[in-house]
């Protein structure tokens, strides 16, 4: 049965001799997480775990504990296992997470609960956090700056040979599991031994050959490389045919293990076939495959090829995220874009509309970079009620436009826009938006959502600390991490 919270116990009051207290950021973050709007959003998702989660069964880990532990996990960039360990080991974190003297939930338990909170819920959580920022006068929505960043996925660098090898390896593993069901599924026992043959050794030998051929140059080496690719394509096609035969037999089975294998084969066979087609087009035919048509990972098929034209990162593999930031350092809205390539011009209209819904009026200042700049977007911003639009002109700039961009307000607005680059760096460095650790498109939405929600909560806390103690203006999350490490006896995480 889903329960809301444990009976409150003040652990710090029970041990007065130690003079324990929260570090400044946690002390301000604590009352923010008591907001009932945040609590009810999370509880609504957790209650859908089972049909009668709210009324039946043994008592679960409280909703309040789950919410606070997930925030702590992103605050200190821990995974689930270190979060369990450090909360269990620290009286301060036990009090902050409202665990008190109760058992700390296991890392796998926390993982199962965390997977129930969807990306849409995290978007609503962020909207509630922005509303809290308005109530506390951290921001008023007078200034808006927008930008995009790339959250990379955890994949190896995509090459045709590596993707073909991945496909053969995964299909061979599924065939080996299907062979183990031959005793319970008589139709599988009737298949030939060749049907369950593993071809990973063939791909391993070809991978070694590719490494040797990659160091050679010239037409002869290119022809040899092409012949090696043809052999690997033949191996991959044979693995697909074997998997299709097994899938045809398992399709009518009702056993749970057989259904799981059927789902795996149905998911991977089309992906491997797509890899075969694109490798044939690129290597054998010599055709340039457009980036939107390429599959760069069998395990993260939603990953996109994003050209950034930046030093050291000309191409990135992941998803592009649109960010709206208002004054006060609050990310008022974020979107994981469906299309990562091209310019960012089409997304400004939705950003302005959402800002008016959240703050009740258009921003007085809108600042963008050249990726969003266009005459149509500038006209759109003015028609939406934005008084000052800072968009650097593209191409050949006429004299009157140059004069406008030299004005004081335009230069100040452009400097304001540059601040979002620092915000993006903080999100990547401190809150995990450099690389997504969750799987799938839904996992990407959850990872980005928790990072931004936690970043906004921390920013509100820092502003509150700065108001109460001006000398603590420079203290932030870095100081909080050092203080926590000292409280834990200096252990490394």
More confident residue, 471 or 260: 260
Same domain, 100 and 55: yes
Same domain, 401 and 307: yes
Q: Kindly tell me if the per-residue pLDDT of 486 is higher than 50.
A: no
Q: What is the mean pLDDT of residues 241-265?
A: 90
Q: What is the mean pLDDT of residues 334-352?
A: 89
Same domain, 271 and 322: no
The verdict on residue 450 lying in a domain is no
Same domain, 45 and 150: no
Per-residue pLDDT tens over the stretch 70-120: 999 999 999 999 999 999 999 889 999 999 989 999 999 999 999 999 999
Per-residue pLDDT tens over the stretch 1-31: 888 888 887 776 776 655 567 888 999 999 9
Q: What is the mean pLDDT of residues 224-250?
A: 93
The verdict on residue 312 lying in a domain is yes
pLDDT recorded at residue 475: 47
Same domain, 171 and 288: yes
Which domain does 185 fall in, by range? 160-293
Residue 488 confidence class, pLDDT cut points 50, 70, 90: very low
Per-residue pLDDT tens over the stretch 441-470: 999 999 999 999 999 999 999 999 998 876
Given 293, 322, 340, the domain boundary residue is 293
Q: What is the mean pLDDT of residues 264-291?
A: 93
pLDDT recorded at residue 219: 86
The verdict on residue 346 lying in a domain is yes
Same domain, 267 and 312: no
More confident residue, 287 or 313: 287
The verdict on residue 472 lying in a domain is no
Same domain, 31 and 97: yes
Given 262, 293, 324, the domain boundary residue is 293
Task: In whole angstroms, give the CA distance from residue 279 to residue 286.
Answer: 10
Contacts of 53 (CB under 8 A, 6+ apart): 1, 2, 46, 47, 60
Same domain, 261 and 207: yes
**CA 273, 276, 281 angle in degrees (round to 5)?**
130
pLDDT recorded at residue 291: 87
The verdict on residue 138 lying in a domain is no
pLDDT recorded at residue 188: 87
Same domain, 96 and 54: yes
For the chain, what is the domain count?
3
More confident residue, 183 or 354: 354
pLDDT recorded at residue 470: 66
Same domain, 169 and 150: no
Q: Kindly tell me if the per-residue pLDDT of 212 is higher than 50.
A: yes
Given 440, 457, 474, the domain boundary residue is 440
The verdict on residue 462 lying in a domain is no
Per-residue pLDDT tens over the stretch 354-406: 999 999 999 999 999 988 999 999 999 999 999 999 999 888 888 898 999 99
Same domain, 436 and 328: yes
The verdict on residue 273 lying in a domain is yes
Q: Kindly tell me if the per-residue pLDDT of 285 is higher than 60.
A: yes
More confident residue, 199 or 313: 199
């Amino acid at each position: 049965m889903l329960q809301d919270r444990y009976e409150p116990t003040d652990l710090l009051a029970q041990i007065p001799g130690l003079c324990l207290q929260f570090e400044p950021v946690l002390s301000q973050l604590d009352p923010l997480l008591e907001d009932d709007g945040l609590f009810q959003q999370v509880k609504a998702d957790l209650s859908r775990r089972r049909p009668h989660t709210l009324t039946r069964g043994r008592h679960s880990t409280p909703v309040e504990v789950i919410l606070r532990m997930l925030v702590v996990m992103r605050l200190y960039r821990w995974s689930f296992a270190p979060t369990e360990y450090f909360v269990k080991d620290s009286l301060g974190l036990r009090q902050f997470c409202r665990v008190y003297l109760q058992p700390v939930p296991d890392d796998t338990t926390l993982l199962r609960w965390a997977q129930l909170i969807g990306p849409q819920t995290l978007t609503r959580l962020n909207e509630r956090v922005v509303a809290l920022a308005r109530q506390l006068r951290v921001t008023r929505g007078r200034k808006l700056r927008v930008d995009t960043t790339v959250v990379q996925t955890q994949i190896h660098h995509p090459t045709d040979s590596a993707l073909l090898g991945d496909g053969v390896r995964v299909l061979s593993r599924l065939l080996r599991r299907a062979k183990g069901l031959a005793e319970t599924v008589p139709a599988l026992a009737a298949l030939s031994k060749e049907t369950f043959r593993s071809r990973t050794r063939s791909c391993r030998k070809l991978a070694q050959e590719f490494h040797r051929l990659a160091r050679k140059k010239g037409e002869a080496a290119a022809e040899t490389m092409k012949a090696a690719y043809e052999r690997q394509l033949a191996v991959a096609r044979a693995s697909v045919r074997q998997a299709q035969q097994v899938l045809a037999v398992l399709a009518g089975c009702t056993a749970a293990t057989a259904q799981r294998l059927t789902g795996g084969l149905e998911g991977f066979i089309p992906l491997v076939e797509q890899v075969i087609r694109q490798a044939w087009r690129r290597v054998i035919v010599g055709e340039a495959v457009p980036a939107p048509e390429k599959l760069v990972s069998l395990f993260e098929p939603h990953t996109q090829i994003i050209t950034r034209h930046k030093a050291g990162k000309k191409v990135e593999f992941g998803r592009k995220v649109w960010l709206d930031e208002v004054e006060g350092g609050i990310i008022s809205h974020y979107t994981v874009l469906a299309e990562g390539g091209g310019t960012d011009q089409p997304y400004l209209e939705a950003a302005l509309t959402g800002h008016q819904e959240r703050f009740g009026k258009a921003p007085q200042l809108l600042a963008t970079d050249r990726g969003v700049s266009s005459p149509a977007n500038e006209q759109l911003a003015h028609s939406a009620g934005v008084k000052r639009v800072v968009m650097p002109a593209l191409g050949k700039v006429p004299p009157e436009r140059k004069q406008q961009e030299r004005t004081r307000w335009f230069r100040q607005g452009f400097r304001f826009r540059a601040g979002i680059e620092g915000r993006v760096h903080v999100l990547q460095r401190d809150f995990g938006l450099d690389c997504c650790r969750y799987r799938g498109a839904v996992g990407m939405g959850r990872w980005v959502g928790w990072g931004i929600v936690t970043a906004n909560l921390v920013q509100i806390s820092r502003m509150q600390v700065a108001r109460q103690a001006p000398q603590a203006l420079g203290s932030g999350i870095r100081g909080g991490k050092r203080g926590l490490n000292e409280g834990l006896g200096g252990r490394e995480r």
